[in-house]
Amino acid sequence: MIPELRSPTPEEWREQVRAERRSPVPLLDGASAGPLGAWFELPVSAATVVSTILDDVLRDGDAAVRLWTQRLDGVDVAVTRVPAGALARAWESTDPGVRGAIAAAAARIREIHERQRDIALRGIASAHLRPLPLRRAGCYVPGGRAAYPSTVLMNVIPAQIAGVSEIALVSPPGPDGSVHPLVLASAHHLGVSEVHAVGGAQAVGALAYGTASIAQVDKITGPGNLFVTLAKRAIFGEVGIDGVAGPSEIVVIASDGADPVLVAADLVSQLEHDPLAWAVCLTDSASLAQGVRAAFSEQAAEAARSGIIAAASGRHGAVVVTAGLEEARLLADEFAAEHLSLQGRAAEALRDAPHTASAVFVGRRSPVSMGDYVAGPNHTLPTGGAARHRGPLSVMDFQRWQSVVDLTGEEFDTLAPVACTLAAAEGLLGHERAIRLRMDDRHAHE
């Protein structure tokens, strides 16, 4: 399969987005189910698989976690918690250059996130909101054979800055039954001591319900595959979640002056994540569109993950020529991308417009790839249009707001008659009586 970008019209691309974002959860058949085929009658929905695993974890705790890890990851992990010594050894055995990169990225991410911590009371002395840290957070880091130390940094650092006292990190085990050494090294550098070798829906269930080995958390954050995503959706309410993540997305608004080679490189960089990833260039320049398509085909064919890129570009890769940049901006806002890149002088002038995208990258020196690792703002971002109502993971995600009411006598005298009138109007006479007793008591003690 040759990696190519399609050339839909604006309306054709709009219709594709509308149709696919309404699509149901896929069924798993013999080609896609993998080891699940041994335990479920196929085809089966991914939601059914997740529901079964979560029910087992709720009922059987650690035994269910061990069983499903053995079935799906092919490794028997009798004790999920990674010994502290293994974390230290992972850091010591990591290449010094990689250790330096982890430390430098952590410092930059911490610098940006420290400015997000809210400590101010919102309201007045007698009636206000106050921010408090969550007590315990669970951070999911994809893993197994792959390693994502950047995900460790992006999830743990804001939790630490918020003041979360307990952080449990979970990541799928590799063939040796432990977590990838780079994930362990990153956790050690940040001072995280609780790391568990467990992934998938069983990890989400353990964090949400609690087991003998893994205590229940207040919130689960971090990206994962389809089963992790559906599990997080299913347990929302039992605990909090950061959001329901889908495939990676990039929209580039490009105008004359943009470098087609750089635009193409940004599209390639996001499509290599996942065969379902989205990568779209919106431009008002037909000649630039042609240059982007040519550069993309050349770069994608030579890429290490050309097969994944080809599959993704065939589904969700496109260059759309618009009547002008205003139409491009409107299309981008309808899509509400995870990442929005503005390239070319006219496009970059749109920087301060109220885009619906979660993260905006401006100009040739700010590729999305920098945001994935070291630019500073969090790379854990909403997808699937959720950028319309939430932004990147932040320190605020690990804080909760509590209201405090401590009325003075004067405030009570002023507000009590108003509350009584409203309570009576709603027919809640017990509410009214609870207030009137205090009115009578206050007058009796004057």
Contacts of 127 (CB under 8 A, 6+ apart): 403, 404, 405, 406, 407
Rounded to whole angstroms, how far apart are CA atoms 295 and 280? Answer: 14
> Angle between the 149-162 and 96-114 helix axes, to the nearest 10 degrees?
40
Indicate if 41 belongs to the active site: no
Tokens of 261: 């080679």
Residues in CB range of 243: below 8 A, 6 or more apart: 382, 386, 390
Contact 39, 356 (CB under 8 A): no
Q: Which of 113, 273, 339, 355 is catalytic?
A: 339
Picking from 306, 240, 243, the residue whose alpha carbon sits closest to that of residue 271 is: 306
Beta-carbon contacts of residue 236 (< 8 Å; ≥ 6 apart): none
Tell me the two tokens of residue 40: 């479920």
Sheet holding 136-140, edge to edge: 194-197, 166-171, 136-140, 219-221, 240-241
Omega cis (within 30) before 158? no
Question: What distance in Å separates the CA atoms of residue 395 and residue 116, rounded to the nearest whole number?
Answer: 6
* Three-state secondary structure call for residue 401: strand
The C-alpha atoms of residue 279 and residue 269 are separated, in whole angstroms, by 9
Query: 194, 249, 338, 432: which is the annotated catalytic residue?
Result: 338
Q: Is 338 a catalytic residue?
A: yes
The CB density around residue 206, as the number of other CB atoms within 10 Å, is: 29
The answer to whether 202 and 75 have CB atoms below 8 angstroms apart is no
**Catalytic residue numbers, as ranges:** 338-339
